[in-house]
Every structure is written in C-alpha cells, then in structure tokens.
Chain A
Amino acid sequence: MNTLRHGSRARFAAVGIVASGALLLAGCGAANEAPPSGGAGASNAPTVSGTIAGAGASSQQAAQEAWIANFTSANSGANITYDPSGSGAGRTQFLGGGVAYAGSDAYLKPEELTQAQTRCGGDVVEVPAYVSPIAVIYNLQGVRDLQLAPATIAQIFDRKITNWNDPAIAADNPGVTLPDLAITPVNRSDKSGTTQNFADYLKVAAGASWPYDVSDAWPVQGGEAAQGTSGVVGAVKAGNGAIGYADESQAQDLGQAKVKVGTTYAGPTAEAAAAVLEASTRVDGQGQYAFAYKLARDTTASGTYPIVLVSYLLACSKYPDAATADLVKAYLGYVISADGQGVAAQSAGAAPLSDTLRTQITPAVEAIAAGS
C-alpha cells in the first residue's frame, strides 16, 4: 500500500516538473515580447528625458551597457533599456513596434526593410554602431605567430586539414616547426552573429574551400562545439591543438592567428578592423538613412583585417511623439560620436568608427524627428 501511494506521488511530481519547465519556457517567450514602456517624468530639465526600450544583438551587450550608463548619467531624466535577446529577436520586436530601437548583427533583409518602413511610416535609420574584430584563436604549444591564408582557415574549419603539420599550414609559416598534432576546430553551438560574420568571411575570401551557405548556425558537423564566446575561448584554452573564432576582446592570452590579406598577414587590431568598414561598399536600395555595408572580406589592402563583426543600430526616422524621437536621436547620436565609440572600445574592445564614416552616417541620425 505504501509503495503504491509513493509511486503515484512520484508520477505526479515528475509530471509537475515537466509542466513547470514548459511553463517557464512559455513565460520567457512572453516576457521577451513585452518590453517595459511608460515614461519617467523629467524633474530638473535635463537635455532629453523619457523612456525607450531597445533589444537585439547580444554582441552589443557590453557596449550598450556602457553607453546607457554614460548617457543616462548625463541625462538624468532618460531611461533606456537594452535587452540582449539576439539579433533575430531584436529585429522582430523592432518590426512589430515593440521596441524603439534595435541592435542587429546583420542589416535588414529586403522583406524586413519593407516591414520596417511600414512600421516607421517612413525611412529606416540603420547605422553601424559596433565594429569588432573576430580573432582566429588557437592553442598550440611552441607556436607563437601562426599565419594562415583564408583557404587554409576554411579547410581547417571544414575538417579537410586535420593535422597541424599539414603542408598547407607549413606554406603559410616558413621556418616554423609545426607539431604532429590533430587539429580540433571549435565552433559556436548556439546561433551567433560571430558565426555568421566568420562564415561570411570564409565564403567570400576562401571561395571554393568553403562550400556552405552563410547563416548564424554553424554548418559543419562533427567539430567541437561550445556555448557562447566564453565557451569557445574556454574550449580552445582547454584543448591542446584546438582552434576557434571569438570576439577579439574576449580572446585574452590565447594565440591569435594572423590572416593573409593580399600578400601580407594582418592581426586582429581595432584599427585594421575599422579600416575594413571604410573599404566596404554601401548596400544600395536600402533608403537614404540606411547605411548597410557589404563588407570587403576579400580586400587586398594592407592594414585591414577582414574578419570583423559589424553590428547595426536600427531606428525609425519618424516617431509619433517628440519625446521618443528626441531621446532616440540623442542616444544614437551619442553612440556613434567619438565619445561613445571610445567608451565601447574601452568597455567592450570594439573598433571605433573612423571620422570619415561618422561624417557619412551622422545625417541619418540627425534626421530622426517627430512626425507621423
């Protein structure tokens, strides 16, 4: 009798655990779609005030936190939030009108652009705000300055080159003794803008050596996969012979490969990353205030580092009420300013936008106004 009762309790308990887990999941989904709204009254006449909510790319998280902290300390009546829920989620919320601005690792696709124009009732403001070099990190005892050509990187991550003493690697590293050691490529196990930008680089720069479509999910099966930038860095650090890709600011003391650009090899520095954006061409047909760039991954100019992540800020050029418009304009203006970019460089290791680029994109932010 006792055991019977116990068994029945056990079953209900187990079902309860599953049920509450699923409810939690549902709860999270719902919470993401309902950003905080409502205004905080301004008291002592600051420059701008009000409340705006943003959401999007988690790559911008550290920079956004620093921007928001600095901006709100200068404008005490302003209240800004940023939910790092991911680029896709951020774009969806922005298109649905849930958030005033969004961060995204990819610029708007054509169909999203149409939706965004409908939502905004006018032009969409799209500006690069966060540029970060992605480092190819490796853990190889005794090898300090690894140099790799794009095709070699692609074949390593495609598991076609499987040993460190492969002739293709040796060709890029004359005079370096490469160990007879299996290569363990490490990729992200979660969807990520870093993956998307890295894959985009391989696709463009390595050509036929990278036969996969570009997406935010890693296409090659069978490698070592780790969660988040910290997970990849941890896995590379732990595994002898491991190689991975991660935000340069997070790569810490790991070896960072120099990548072949033209005839020289370039390391992941902030200046070289920013230079790539300047060498890139603007995507046509996005609207006068949408500065989307087709990155010059295959650039041959020396002094550039083509594996960069460019994260955009999305906003409307028109907002129904003046307070929101002013706040969005002031905030975006701060983000792309030399001051704001410096803060991002300091707190998140971002590459500051060049002055030339800033001059080009400033009119887009200046255009934000109230109107219907």
Chain B
Amino acid sequence: MTTTEKVPTSAAARPVVQTGDRIFAGTAKGAGILILLVLAGVAVFLIAQAVPAFLASPADLPGGQNLVAYIGPLVFGTILAAVIALVIATPLAVSVALFITHYAPRRLAQGLGYMVDLLAAVPSIVYGLWGVAVLAPATLGLSDWLNRNLGWLPFFAGPVSVTGRTMLTVGVTLAVMILPIITAVAREVFLQTPTLHEEAALALGATRWEMIRMAVLPFGRSGVISGAMLGLGRALGETMAVAIILSASGAITFNLISSDNPSTIAGNIALQFPDSTGLAVNTLIASGLVLFVITLLVNAIARYIINRRREFSGAN
C-alpha cells in the first residue's frame, strides 16, 4: 500500500480501490456464484429425485420396460423436433437479420426489428393454440403433396395424418418461436461488423452480396452459431406448444407427417405429471435430468465451436 506514494508507476499497476468498486465487484461475484449454486441445486434435485427410477426394477416403471426404453423415444423426439425447428429457423433468421442490417431502408429496418422482437413476446401456449387450430389444418394439403411426390423419403412415408398434428407442424411452430432469438442475436452481430471491412470489400469492387459474404458473414459466424444454440435450447425445452400440438404416441420414427410421433421430454412431463404418483414421478424427473444433460452438452458444443473459430471470425 505504501508503495503508491513512493513510485508513481506502480499506481497504474495497482489501481486505487474505492468502496464502490468493492461493492460492485462483490455483487458481481455474488451473482456469478449464485448462478452456479442454482445450477448445482437443480442438478442435485434432479439426481436425487431420479435415483429411485434408476434403481427400480424395470417392471415397476411406466411402460413396464426399462428406463432406456421409456426415455429413448422421448430423447429422439426432443432432438428431432428441435433440429427441424433449427433447420427451418436459422437460414430464415440470418436472412431476416441481413435484410434488417444491410438491405432495408433505415425506417423500415427499425419497424421490422421491433416486429421480430414482438414475436419473442408471444407466450408459448398461444403458439401452441395457433399451431393446433391454424397451422395443423393448413399443413394437410402440404403433407398430402409431400407424401405423393416425396413419399420415397422416410420423412414423408405416410400414412398422412388427417388432423395435421404432426412432427412437421411442431417443427414449424418451434421454428417460429425460436426465430426472434436467432434473429436478434444475428442482427446485433451483423451490426458490429467493422465498417472498414465492409468499405474495403466494396472498394475492391465487391457487390453488396459479395461484401456480405466476405466481410459480414465470416465476422458474424460465431454470433449466429451462439444465437442458434440459444434457439436450440428453447426448442429443446419447449413444453406447452408441443403438448398441445403433437399427437404423441411414442414410436421412434423419422416420419414427419403421420399421427404416430415420438413425444418430447418436456412435452411428456407436462402431459404425464399431473396424474402421476410415486415411481412414475421419479421416472419423469429422470427424463428431465436427461434433458438437462442434453442442454448442457448442446451449450458446451456451441461454446467449443465458437472458441475454435474465434481467430477466424474477423474480430479485432
């Protein structure tokens, strides 16, 4: 402490710490620790409640088979629904974000940005009702067409559902739900593209699309990936919309247009929890633990991709 008076240079190395700084540092650290504690608490709760299901004899579990046979189709359905949503939403979100940041006139861009953000404010149960009442009947014609023309693909093998409450409808609904998250993140990242890079590309004779390909997209790639992973997180955990829309009867199938679909973990918990007791609840919580692990894995992978590509991202 006394060195500050003697040697002025070390004052820069060791800055003066004021009370306000200490409080702020303490709160920030506390908040960080709190998140970890909550996360640990959730993990402990899930594991403790899931243990009886792991230990129970397979015959006592719902379905009468083992835990893997019960949770397996749910995991499959969860990932299938989320992947469909991601495949539809990501290109759309990137296009919307590019339009807003680089093509649309300023005034239109602002309005459009608000509109996309508004999509995120719609409660998921409303999306569910919309999905089952509007989207599902609307997909009937499309499903029929897909079955007739692309029926050789396992995705469209049929028999076609007569109600439209299919995995395809769920995927499209989830895509609409995660669209605003991915768009918002992508938009922010695209806006941060260094103007110098863009101008340099244009000065070299690039068209606007070439400039976007050379300067904007490489710079924003990791941002788009993290946005997509955020969206994937929401799609994986989406509950009410899936529970309402999907005709979940438990089969593992890639068929997207029939009424025989695997349920998702979150949707299944919502449907089965109210009338479940004892071991059935433990089994549901065990499936929740699996979802928890999947989500952590997805985020870890996203993190890894972003870190690996950091040096190529064009930042700095």
Chain A residues within CB distance 8 Å of chain B: 1-4, 6-8, 10-19, 21-23, 25-26, 29, 58, 85-89, 91-92, 182, 184, 186-187, 189-192, 216-218, 221-227, 231, 234-235, 238-242
Contact = CB atoms under 8 A, between A and B. Distances in A.
Q: Is the interface of B mostly helix, strand, loop or mixed?
A: helix
Contacts of B292: 18, 22
A92 B38 contact: no
Contact of B251 (A3, A7, A190, A222): A222
Contacts of B219: 3
12 contacts: A2-B192, A8-B303, A10-B226, A10-B230, A29-B281, A85-B274, A86-B276, A189-B248, A190-B274, A223-B260, A225-B248, A241-B162
A235 B247 contact: yes
Contacts of B230: 10, 13-14
Interface stretch (B81-89, B147-155, B294-302): B294-302
B259 A191 contact: no
B141 to A, nearest CB: 13
A282 B277 CA distance: 26
Interface residues of B, number: 66
Nearest to B305: A7
A184 B259 contact: yes
A238 B42 contact: no
B271 A227 contact: yes
A12 B39 CA distance: 10
Given A2-B315, A15-B299, A223-B249, A7 B237 contact: no
Given A14-B230, A17-B233, A190-B271, A227 B244 contact: yes
A45 B249 CA distance: 55
B136 interface: yes
B53 interface: no
Given A14-B233, A15-B299, A89 B259 contact: no
B169 to A, nearest CB: 12
A240 B275 CA distance: 30
A6 B226 contact: yes
Given A3-B313, A15-B296, A87 B275 contact: yes
A85 to B, nearest CB: 6
Given A234-B132, A240-B162, 15 more contacts: A7-B226, A10-B227, A10-B229, A10-B302, A13-B230, A14-B230, A14-B295, A18-B42, A29-B281, A89-B277, A221-B260, A225-B259, A231-B132, A238-B137, A239-B162
Contacts of A192: 275
A152 to B, nearest CB: 20
| Leading 5 A-B pairs by shortest Cβ distance | A191-B275, A239-B162, A86-B275, A224-B259, A88-B277
Contacts of B220: 3
**Residue among B189, B244, B266, B281 with most chain A CB within 10 A:** B244
Contact of A22 (B42, B223, B271, B278): B42
B92 interface: no
**Residue among A1, A12, A89, A225 with most chain B CB within 10 A:** A225
B316 A1 contact: yes
**Residue among B159, B247, B299, B315 with most chain A CB within 10 A:** B247
A163 B37 CA distance: 57
A235 B163 contact: yes
A6 B230 CA distance: 12
Given A14-B230, A15-B35, A224-B161, A22 B46 contact: yes
A92 B159 CA distance: 42
Contact of B35 (A16, A191, A218, A238): A16
Contacts of B229: 10-11, 14
Given A13-B230, A15-B35, A25 B275 contact: no
Contacts of A25: 269, 288
B276 A191 contact: yes
A180 B310 CA distance: 61
Nearest to B73: A221
Interface in B235-285: 237, 243-244, 246-251, 259-260, 263, 266, 269, 271-272, 274-278, 281
B226 to A, nearest CB: 4
A92 B42 CA distance: 25
A7 B165 contact: no
Nearest to A28: B273
B145 interface: no
Given A18-B295, A223-B260, A89 B165 contact: no
B251 A242 contact: no
Nearest to A231: B244
B227 A189 contact: no
B274 A238 contact: no
